[in-house]
Structure 1
Amino acid sequence: MKIPLAPRPVMLNLKILLLSRKFEIYSSHRLVEEIVSREHTPVLWDPEWPLARLKIQPDIIIPRISSFQFPEAVAVLKALETTGATTLNPSQYYSVARNKWQTYQALHANQIATPETFLVSRSTKRELPLPFIVKQLESSKGDGVFLANSDEEVSEIFQKTGDRELIVQEFFSEAFGTDVRAFVIGDQIHAVMKRTARPGEFRSNLALGGTAEACELLPGESELILKTTRLLGLQVSGVDLLRTRKGSLVLEANPCPGLEGIEKYSKKNLASSIIQYAEALHGRHQTSR
């Protein structure tokens, strides 16, 4: 895919650490590609590696942390932050955004439109009419998301996941299998796509075989998206919207949004935009010291 080149950076040879367990995937590859293209030094670091072996002090940290062993990875991120490096999505904000219940609580408390959601355990009774969506608190790419049509199915989900708590979320039949993903960097929406699930699937995630197309935001959606990212303190995120009979609702704000699908469908060089934003953020931090 041909993506337009970006202007050369003002600051050269920054050490940019990518904290990830998967350096071979598209998003990691693209970020490294743009780090090198903009004449910086990429530092690849797996959260499982002993920090005592890290001999380079990074200028910028870009966390790409999945749900696998998430608390351990966040602990590593917190330790790296003590070096004074500029971090895209600092650990305290990353942790809230990765937890769907904490995200809902923050959105609801600040009157940001979101589906009605409850935290449930094996013993609590459901408070929403069936069917409803059941989600693990920390999951991504559609994993850990289920459609429950009966109480028996909810019990089966608890057995399958082994979790003590899950969230149940209001279901909207008119939005079945579709949502809108907005890619936000800083205080700007850089790309938007509408995702559609493959036949027979209710989850629209591209990782599960969904398709996408570039789309325009409806009136009021830009404000809703940016209010969400400001509230959650995210500098890079993928905000998911559901268009329903109640209007546009925020589903979540992913602090580790994938690049492959949205670069493909928007034809925008989002990896370069992330690095340029990191350069500018680092420059502001240096000036303020």
Structure 2
Amino acid sequence: MKILILSRSLALYSTQSLARACMRRGHEVEIIDHLSIDLLIKNGQMEVRSYGNPIGEVDAVLPRIGSSVTSLGSSIIRQFELMNVFCTTSSDALMQSRDKLQTLQILASHNIPIPDTMIMNYLEFNNNFFKSELKLPVIIKLLDSTHGLGVMIANSQKSVESITDTLYHLKQKAMLQQFIHESNGCDLRIFIVDGKIVAAMERQAAEGDFRSNLHRGGRASMVRLTTEEQNYALKAARVLGLKIAGVDMLRGQKHSYVIEVNASPGLEGIEKTTGVNVAGKIVEFIEQGYHQKKQAYADKRV
């Protein structure tokens, strides 16, 4: 097979791990910066080019799209989808999972527990509404935050007002969420490939921080998941249409909460912590998905 990895840099750990896994299984792999891609639609035919050069035929696309270029990335994936190329993440699933509010709405509608969440209007901060529905402290999170950036904690009513006033002024939209005290600065990262949990780890925030992201200095260790956590994680990926997903959860007093579902989860932390060859699992999924798509196309033509 010829597998195309869409990634900003060959130097990234995840990109290297995926490329090695592809080559170990005898596949040809090409890595292209998705920002270099032009899409051509001419005379009813679609083409994908990089720096003006045709990419040519590929059997599968593995997108590693950053959150800042989600819309562009989705358009590129859609072009490949319409050209009947197997993609590990669909264009619709990428867009849906990158919208933090839409993600939470979908999870809640499928009875997947999430922290109590409030999205304030664009006009003013409603003190009475906030006081009646959420308790301090609260997490204030930008709707386009990533790697723990744009995530704040407010311990007083004055802090909430000050932060939200600043965000209003900067025209930034944010959500306010229940702070789960019992998590003690820990969260779970559950890695799912094709409807199966392939690895899981617990991340502990650095001393003095509440954010457990490894990019923020957090520590990771292996973890045993409860049956409930496994079921919620698998269901979260399924209802969002993600075949590859990193589901983040917090352990509460009565049950665990899903706080985020990542469409392009990093591999470095999970592979180094658990020793699981997650990239290899992803390539196995690509092989199965490609052959299933090829067979379905052949059956359709008969």
Q: Greater CA radius of gyration, 1 or 2? A: 2
Q: Note closer, same or farther for the CA distance 1:157–1:264 as it changes in structure 2 (3 Å cut).
A: farther
Among candidates 248, 258, 267, match of residue 266 of structure 2: 258
Structure 2's unaligned 5+ residue stretches are 39-48, 298-302
**Cα displacement (A) at 1:27:** 0.5
Which shows bigger deviation, 245-254 or 188-197? Answer: 245-254
Residue number in structure 1 paired with 2:135? 129
1:109-148 matches, within 5 Å, as 109-121=109-121, 123-125=124-126, 126=130, 127-148=133-154
Which shows bigger deviation, 19-28 or 177-186? Answer: 19-28
1:225-240 matches, within 5 Å, as 225-240=233-248
Matched residues in 1 for 2:164 and 2:23: separation?
44
Q: Please, what TM-score do these two structures have when normalized by structure 2?
A: 0.86
Among candidates 172, 192, 199, match of residue 207 of structure 2: 199
Residue number in structure 2 paired with 1:186? 194
- Alpha-carbon displacement from aligned partner over 1:203-236 (angstroms, at most 9, x marks no partner): 1011111001111011321111111111111101
Matched residues in 2 for 1:234 and 1:207: separation?
24
Give aligned-pair identity as a percent: 34
Among candidates 150, 163, 166, match of residue 159 of structure 1: 166
Q: Note closer, same or farther for the CA distance 1:85–1:148 as it changes in structure 2 (3 Å cut).
A: same
For the residue of structure 2 that corresponds to 1:69, the secondary structure is helix
Q: Note closer, same or farther for the CA distance 1:223–1:238 as it changes in structure 2 (3 Å cut).
A: same
Letter of the structure 2 residue corresponding to residue 234 of structure 1:
L
Residue number in structure 2 paired with 1:173? 181
Does the CA-based 8 Å contact 1:133-1:170 persist in structure 2?
yes
For the residue of structure 2 that corresponds to 1:48, the secondary structure is helix
For the residue of structure 2 that corresponds to 1:145, the secondary structure is strand
Which shows bigger deviation, 216-225 or 182-191? Answer: 216-225
Matched residues in 2 for 1:256 and 1:218: separation?
24
Root-mean-square deviation over aligned CA pairs: 1.8
Matched residues in 2 for 1:80 and 1:163: separation?
35
Q: Which has the higher contact order (CA 8 A, sep 6+)?
A: 1
Residue number in structure 1 paired with 2:89? 89
Letter of the structure 2 residue corresponding to residue 147 of structure 1:
I
1:36-115 matches, within 5 Å, as 36-51=23-38, 52=49, 53-115=53-115
Q: Note closer, same or farther for the CA distance 1:22–1:118 as it changes in structure 2 (3 Å cut).
A: farther
Does the CA-based 8 Å contact 1:98-1:139 persist in structure 2?
no
Q: Note closer, same or farther for the CA distance 1:50–1:182 as it changes in structure 2 (3 Å cut).
A: closer
- Alpha-carbon displacement from aligned partner over 1:129-169 (angstroms, at most 9, x marks no partner): 22111112123211221112235544436636934421111
Q: Note closer, same or farther for the CA distance 1:169–1:80 as it changes in structure 2 (3 Å cut).
A: same
Residue number in structure 2 paired with 1:3? none
Matched residues in 2 for 1:99 and 1:176: separation?
27
Structure 1's unaligned 5+ residue stretches are 1-13
Q: Note closer, same or farther for the CA distance 1:138–1:23 as it changes in structure 2 (3 Å cut).
A: farther
For the residue of structure 2 that corresponds to 1:136, the secondary structure is strand
Does the CA-based 8 Å contact 2:125-2:164 persist in structure 1?
no
1:284 equivalenced with 2:292 (yes/no): yes
Residue number in structure 1 paired with 2:282? 274
Matched residues in 2 for 1:79 and 1:157: separation?
39
Moved over 4 A (4+): none
Residue number in structure 1 paired with 2:41? none
For the residue of structure 2 that corresponds to 1:68, the secondary structure is helix
Matched residues in 2 for 1:82 and 1:40: separation?
23
For the residue of structure 1 that corresponds to 2:144, the secondary structure is coil
Q: Note closer, same or farther for the CA distance 1:163–1:245 as it changes in structure 2 (3 Å cut).
A: farther
**Cα displacement (A) at 1:78:** 2.0
Matched residues in 2 for 1:192 and 1:170: separation?
24
Does the CA-based 8 Å contact 1:229-1:237 persist in structure 2?
yes
Equivalences, count: 276
